[in-house]
Each structure stands twice: as structure tokens, then as C-alpha cells.
């Protein structure tokens, strides 16, 4: 398949791995930011091809995983109302709230529907004028333009029965939070190609300078990731700390400007709670004042509450790259995809789910 097969070739992968090995003179710790990259690394065993001492730690880039439990509880509360059609991407339905998940709401008669685009939810609102249609707007900058477009369309159509439950998060503030943490081990980043397709990478340049850390915008196929690692280690070995673009077939430095303008118009930057990590300033998107009527939290008048998560779950440490999934005492025993303690075990982009699915124990020493 074009644009996929050529990035999954065994020979090219081995060649790239040899280049990395030749380049590497000492141990380095790199973090891939996107959950899609984490899954590629574990699924294809990319870390097994790396020289001893080059360690990949997995970042917070699983939007499902970092959506705070309080917000999932709000989603569950809204979805349980008889007048509501609650729409979401499929991935969110399994994520545990404090008591239940959205699949359980559906099983008990709640009208919870999987949609493939937020604009499908707008259509549902048009078709069901007597119902309230709510879309669970989860994701990083990648999904923000489509969600912004849905709100814009709903406003143009004058729909009073459409709203968003917004859980948007932003990548750069999370990187700064990781880099400023006293526990940080990360020396270089693979930035998420899809996020940068929308946002470009100018906002990463000050981070690279301030923290002296190389950042390589990277794709998702095995060869993309190996090339990203290669560029990152080359910078580290040469003592450089710049932003480089491995994913040039999709990413431009300025990104997609019409998409950015749409995001800026519909949303505003807000502080956001990250599940397992805590509050990060300026790290989320909420609806702008002009579009505040489309805010489901406001429409349904839900009160904020604080919920205590299971102390057994180390999801926060996993999401910050401090621990690996199999270092959790509950991994694969008290916590598995059928009975998850935390979101990274359920989401298709969660690091714990990737380890459980493709690898039950640590990679053998090289």
C-alpha cells in the first residue's frame, strides 16, 4: 500500500538501525510523544533494533489516557440523561470513570453512539431536533480543527441542540512540564507528526532552545520512527538542540494555517487537568466566549468535583515517561484490558495496552 509499505520494509529498517548503532557512542533517553508512535514501536519491536543504551520512553500522547476522570464522569452523567444522544469516538467508550464507563451507560439504555467525525454529530443534531446531541471532543491539536468545524457548522445552522464536552489538550505545555520535572530523564523528543501537520513546529523551537533538547517531528511507520531516532541521536551526539522535520511528506514549518485560525476562533487556551499528571497551565482548549453556548458543561450545569483515583495505578508516571508499563506491580495481574485500573490499559494508543498486547515482559538485554 502506497505511503505505508515503503515505510515498513525490513531491509530499510535494518539499514537505518545500523546507522543509528554506528552513530551512538553513549546511552541516550528519547521520548516519543504520540501514542500512535508508542504502538508502532511496541508492535514492530523497533526498540529491539536499537543499540544497547538507547532507551525509548513513552510520552503522554494518548488523548484518551490523559482525559481527566472527572470529565469522564461528567460524560457519563450527560450520556445517562434520556434527552441526550451522546456521541464519541469509539476509543473513549471503554475508558473507566470513577465508577463506570460509557459502554455501561449504553448497556443500561443510554443513547451512546460511536461517530467517525464530529460533523456526523452535527448531522445527528439536525435530524433529531427534540434531542440534545453532545460530542465528546477529545484529542490533541490533531482533532481540534474538525471539532472546531463542527461547532462552526452548528452555529451557522443555528442549532440549539448541539454541544461539545471539551477535553482538548496541547502538546508543548506537556513537554515543558516533563522537562521541568525533577524526575525527568528525557534528552530528546520525537514530536507527533499529525499534531505538527496542523500546528507546524515553530512553537517547539523555543522549547528546544530553552531546555537544550533536540525535537524531531516524526511520522508513525517503523521507518519514520527509526529515521526520527537517527536524527535525534545525531543531534545529541553532535551537541545540537534543534527542531528537525523527519515527516516532511506531511508537515510544513508553519503547519496548516486555515486550521489554526479556525481553532483560534472557536477555542481559547485554558488550564487543563491531565489524568494521572495533574493540572498543567495553558495546556488545554475550551470554547471561546463567542461559542460558549456550545459548551456541554455549561449547558448541563455540571458541578466540578475531585475524584480520588486508584492508588495502585501508576498511569501518571507512565505518561510522563518516568516508569515503563511492566514496572507497575499491577500490570497484567490486577490491571488488564478487560479490567483496567487506568486509561493507558484500555486505549488503543495507551502504552500499557501496547505492552500488554504485544509484549508481556521487558525486552531482553541486547
Partner 1 sequence: MQRITVIAANPWQHTKRSPVIFMQNLQCPISIQQYPTILMAHGGGGRLMHQLIDKLIMSAFSNPHLDVRHDSTVLNISSPQIAFTTDSYVIQPLFFPGGDIGSLAVHGTVNDLAMSGARPQYISCAFILEEGLETQTLWRVVQSMRQAADAAGVQIVTGDTKVVEKGKGDGLFINTAGIGVISHALRIAPASVQPGDAVILSGDLGRHGIAIMASRQGLEFQTTIQSDSAPVAGPVLALIDAGIEIHCLRDLTRGGLASALNEIAEVAQVNIDIDEIAIPVNEQVQGACEILGFDPLHVANEGRFIVFVPAKQADRAVAVLQQHPVSADARVIGQVNEVSIAPVTLKSRIGTRRIMDMLSGEQLPRIC
**Which three cell numbers, joined as nine digits, stand for 127?**
435530524
Piece of 183-191, 229-237, 261-269, 350-358 that binds partner 1 (CB under 8 A): 350-358
- Which residue in the block uniquely carries the three cell numbers 480543527? 145
Q: Which of 13, 30, 277, 285 binds partner 1 (CB under 8 A)?
A: 13
Sign of torsion, CA 115 116 122 124? Answer: negative
Q: CB-based contacts of 39: which residues, under 8 Å, 6+ apart? A: 348, 349, 354
x-or-dash pattern for partner 1, window 46-85, by CB under 8 A? Answer: x-xx-------------xx---------------------
Q: CB-based contacts of 281: which residues, under 8 Å, 6+ apart? A: 173, 271
Task: Give, as ranges, the residues between 188 and 247 that touch partner 1 (CB under 8 A).
Answer: 194, 222
Task: Give, as ranges, the residues between 126 and 165 that touch partner 1 (CB under 8 A).
Answer: 138-140, 142-143
Give the C-alpha separation, 273 to 173, whole Å. Answer: 12
Q: Which of 56, 79, 85, 92 binds partner 1 (CB under 8 A)?
A: 92
H helix intervals, the chain:
10-23, 35-44, 63-66, 69-79, 102-107, 118-127, 144-156, 171-180, 193-199, 205-211, 222-238, 257-266, 296-299, 315-319, 351-358
**Nearer CB in complex with partner 1: 117/310:** 117
CB of 71 to partner 1, least distance (A): 15
Backbone angles phi, psi at 240, to 5 degrees: -100, 155
CB of 19 to partner 1, least distance (A): 15
Q: Which of 73, 120, 242, 293 binds partner 1 (CB under 8 A)?
A: 120
**Buried b / exposed e along 192-223 (16+ C-beta atoms within 10 A):** bbbbbbbbbbebbeebbeebebbbbbbbbbbb
Q: Is 96 in the site for partner 1 (CB under 8 A)?
A: no
Piece of 91-99, 175-183, 276-284, 318-326 that binds partner 1 (CB under 8 A): 91-99
Q: Is 348 in the site for partner 1 (CB under 8 A)?
A: yes
**Nearer CB in complex with partner 1: 299/324:** 324
Of the CA atoms within 13 Å of residue 335, those in its CB half-sphere come to 26
Q: Which of 93, 171, 191, 296 binds partner 1 (CB under 8 A)?
A: 93
Q: Is 338 in the site for partner 1 (CB under 8 A)?
A: yes
Give the C-alpha separation, 228 to 32, whole Å. Answer: 9
Contact set with partner 1 (CB under 8 A): 1, 4, 8-10, 13-14, 36, 42-46, 48-49, 63-64, 89-94, 113-117, 120, 138-140, 142-143, 194, 222, 336-338, 348-349, 356-361
Amino acid at each position: 500500500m502506497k505511503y505505508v509499505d515503503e515505510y515498513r520494509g525490513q531491509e530499510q529498517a535494518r539499514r537505518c538501525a545500523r546507522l543509528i548503532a554506528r552513530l551512538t557512542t553513549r546511552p541516550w533517553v528519547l521520548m516519543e510523544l504520540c501514542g500512535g508512535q508508542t504502538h508502532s514501536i511496541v508492535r514492530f519491536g523497533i526498540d529491539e533494533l536499537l543499540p544497547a543504551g538507547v532507551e525509548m520512553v513513552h510520552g503522554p500522547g494518548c488523548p484518551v489516557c490523559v482525559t481527566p476522570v472527572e470529565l469522564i464522569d461528567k460524560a457519563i452523567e450527560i450520556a445517562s440523561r434520556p434527552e441526550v444522544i451522546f456521541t464519541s469516538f469509539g476509543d473513549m467508550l471503554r475508558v473507566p470513570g470513577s465508577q463506570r464507563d460509557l459502554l455501561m451507560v449504553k448497556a443500561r439504555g443510554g443513547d451512546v453512539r460511536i461517530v467517525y467525525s464530529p460533523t456526523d454529530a452535527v448531522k445527528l443534531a439536525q435530524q433529531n431536533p427534540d434531542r440534545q446531541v453532545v460530542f465528546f471532543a477529545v484529542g490533541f491539536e490533531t482533532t481540534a480543527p474538525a471539532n472546531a468545524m463542527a461547532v462552526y457548522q452548528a452555529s451557522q445552522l443555528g442549532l440549539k441542540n448541539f454541544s461539545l464536552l471539551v477535553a482538548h489538550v496541547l502538546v508543548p505545555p506537556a513537554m515543558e512540564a516533563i522537562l521541568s520535572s525533577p524526575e525527568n530523564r528525557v534528552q530528546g523528543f520525537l514530536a507527533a507528526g499529525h499534531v505538527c501537520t496542523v500546528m507546524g513546529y515553530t512553537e517547539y523551537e523555543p522549547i528546544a532552545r530553552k531546555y537544550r533538547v533536540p525535537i524531531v517531528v516524526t511520522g508513525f511507520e517503523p521507518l519514520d520512527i527509526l529515521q526520527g531516532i537517527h536524527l535525534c541521536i545525531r543531534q545529541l551526539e553532535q551537541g545540537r538542540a534543534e527542531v528537525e522535520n523527519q515527516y516532511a511528506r506531511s508537515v510544513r514549518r508553519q503547519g496548516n494555517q486555515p486550521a489554526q485560525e479556525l481553532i483560534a476562533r472557536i477555542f481559547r487556551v485554558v488550564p487543563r487537568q491531565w489524568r494521572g499528571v495533574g493540572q498543567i497551565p495553558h495546556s488545554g482548549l475550551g470554547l471561546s466566549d463567542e461559542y460558549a453556548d456550545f459548551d456541554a458543561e455549561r449547558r448541563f450545569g455540571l458541578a466540578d468535583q475531585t475524584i480520588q483515583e486508584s492508588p495502585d495505578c501508576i498511569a501518571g508516571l507512565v505518561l510522563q515517561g518516568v516508569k515503563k508499563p511492566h514496572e507497575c506491580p499491577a500490570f497484567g495481574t490486577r490491571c488488564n484490558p478487560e479490567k483496567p485500573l487506568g486509561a493507558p490499559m484500555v486505549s488503543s494508543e495507551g502504552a500499557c495496552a501496547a505492552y500488554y498486547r504485544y509484549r508481556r515482559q521487558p525486552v531482553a538485554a541486547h
